[in-house]
Amino acid sequence: MVLPIFIYFTLITEKVKSDKNRKVIMFILWGISIIFCMSFPVSFGQNGRLDLRIIPLLLGSLYGGFLPCIFLSAIIILYRLYFGISIGFYNTVLVLLLSVPVILFFLKSFASSKKDKRVKIVVSLSFCYGLIGLAVSGILRGFSLDYLKVQAIYLIFVVAVTFLFTMLKETIREIQQLRSEMQNSEKLRIISELASVFAHEIRNPMQVTRGFLQLLNEPDLPDDKKKYLQISIEELDRANEIINDFLSFGKPSINSSERINAGYQLKRVVNIIQNYSLNHNVELKTDILENCWIYANPQKLNQSLINILKNAIESMPNGGSVWITCTSTDDGYIKITIKDQGIGMTKNQIDRLGSPFYSLKESGTGLGMMISFQIVRSFKGKIQVNSEKDKGTEFIILFPQIN
C-alpha cells in the first residue's frame, strides 16, 4: 500500500504530464496493491480470510474517480474467483455490492473537500465497509463470540491503518503543492526584478518611435503606407500594454486595503463590462448578496475581477451566459463565483493557469491572469478553478469575511 503512494509522487508526477495517463498508471498501481493484499491474508476459523484490500480500493476510488472504482472492484471479484467459488467469494461480492454505491456517493464531496474532511470521509467509509463485511459474513457463516472478537480487532485495525495512509497521502500532496507554489514564486520574483529594471528603458525608445511614426502619417501619403503606419502604431501600443502589465506586476505593492463591500464592487465591475459582453453576444446573470464585507483595495480588486470576467466572455466565441454570484459561506468567507459556458480547460491547463507567460489565447501573454492571482493572494484570498473541456469553467474566489 505504501508503494503506489511513493511511486506516484516521486516518479509519475515528475515525468508524466498528462492527467489521464497519471490516472491510468495510478489505477494499475492500486490494482497491484489489491492483488498483493489479497495474496497474503490472515486466515481464521474454517476458510475465513481477512485482508486490507479495502484501503487501496478506497484510496484508488476516491482519488481516481468513478471508473477506477469500478475497475478496482472488478479486480477484487476476479482475483477472488481465482481462489475458487465458496462462501468467501459470495461474501466478497455481496460486500462490494453494498459498499461500492456508498463510495461512489461520496466521490464528488470528497473531491471538493479540504484535508481534514477528506480524512474523515475515508475513515468513515472504511468503518462502514468493515461493518458491512461483519454483517454479511455473520449472516453467511453465523455469529459467535470468537468471530465477533476477530472482526472487532480487524475493524479497529483497518480504520487505524486507513487513517494513517490517508494522512500520509494528504501530507505528501500538501508538500508537493507547496513545492509547486515555491517554484512559481521564484518565477514571479525573477519577473518582478526584470520588470522593474527593463520596463522603463524599453518603453522610452518605443514612445519616441511612436511619435515619429505619427509625424510621418501625412495627409498626402499613399493609402497602403498609411495602413502600414497604422499597423506599426497599433503594434507598439500593444507592446506598451504588455510593458504596463510588467510594471503593475513588478512595482512594490502598497498596503492600501480598506473595508469594502465586495458585492458592491462586483456590481460595478458587471456594469463596466456589460457593453463588452453584449458585443460578444454573452449574457451576464448575477446573484449578488448586499453585505459582503472584506479588506481589500477596491481598484486592484476590480482589476482582478474585470480580467477574469473578460477571459470568461472571450472563452465563448459563439456567445452564451456567464453566471456571477457573491455570497457568504458558513466557514467565514466571502465567495465570488464566475462561471461560463466556454471552451473549458484540461487538468493540466488548470494547473498552469496563473503561471508566467502561460495563456490559452493566441495573442495573450498570461500576465493579466498572473496579476489577478497575485492581487487575490495579496488580500489573503484564494482562487479555485473547476473546468471541463468543452463544458465551461468556474472561478471560485474566496476572501476572509469581516463584520
Cell numbers 460578444 correspond to 280
CA–CA dist 349, 72 (Å, integer):
28
Sign of the dihedral through C-alpha 308, 309, 315, 317: negative
Counting residues of the chain whose pLDDT is more than 90, the rounded percentage is 25
- DSSP for 296-316? E-HHHHHHHHHHHHHHHHHT-
Sign of the dihedral through C-alpha 98, 101, 107, 110: negative
Phi, psi of 396 (to 5 degrees): -115, 115
pLDDT for the residue 252? 47
Element (H, E) at 42: strand 42-44
Instruction: Give residue 185's Cα distance to chain centre.
Output: 18
Section 175-188 average pLDDT? 74
Section 65-90 average pLDDT? 89
For the ranges 9-13, 73-77, 339-343, which has the lowest average pLDDT? 9-13
- pLDDT tens-digit map of 196-252: 666 667 777 887 888 888 888 777 788 888 888 888 888 888 777 767 666 665 554
Domains 2-182 and 258-400 belong to one CATH topology: no
The residues, any chain, with a CB within 8 Å of residue 198's CB and separated by 6 or more, are: none
> pLDDT category, 101, cuts 50, 70, 90?
very high
Confidence (pTM): 0.59
CA–CA dist 379, 187 (Å, integer):
21
Which CATH class name applies to 2-182? mainly alpha
- 72 in Cβ contact with 31 (< 8 Å): yes
- 300 in Cβ contact with 375 (< 8 Å): yes
pLDDT for the residue 249? 56
CA–CA dist 1, 8 (Å, integer):
12
* CA dist list (Å): 368 to 61, 204, 279: 37, 22, 21
Section 269-297 average pLDDT? 89
pLDDT for the residue 86? 81
So where are the chain's domains?
2-182, 258-400
Q: Closest by alpha carbon to 187, among 348, 354, 305, 311?
A: 354
User: How many CB atoms are located within 10 Å of the residue 200 CB?
Assistant: 12
The residues, any chain, with a CB within 8 Å of residue 42's CB and separated by 6 or more, are: 49, 50, 51
User: How many CB atoms are located within 10 Å of the residue 320 CB?
Assistant: 17
Q: Residue type at 156? A: I
CA–CA dist 143, 139 (Å, integer):
7
Which DSSP state fits 9?
A: I
pLDDT for the residue 318? 87
Which CATH class name applies to 258-400? alpha beta
- pLDDT tens-digit map of 349-402: 777 776 555 555 555 555 678 778 888 888 889 888 888 888 889 999 999 998
Section 157-185 average pLDDT? 85
Section 274-299 average pLDDT? 88
- Which three-class secondary structure state does DSSP give residue 286? strand
CA–CA dist 58, 130 (Å, integer):
12
Task: Quote the mean pLDDT of the chain.
Answer: 83
Section 299-325 average pLDDT? 89
User: How many CB atoms are located within 10 Å of the residue 271 CB?
Assistant: 10
> pLDDT category, 88, cuts 50, 70, 90?
confident
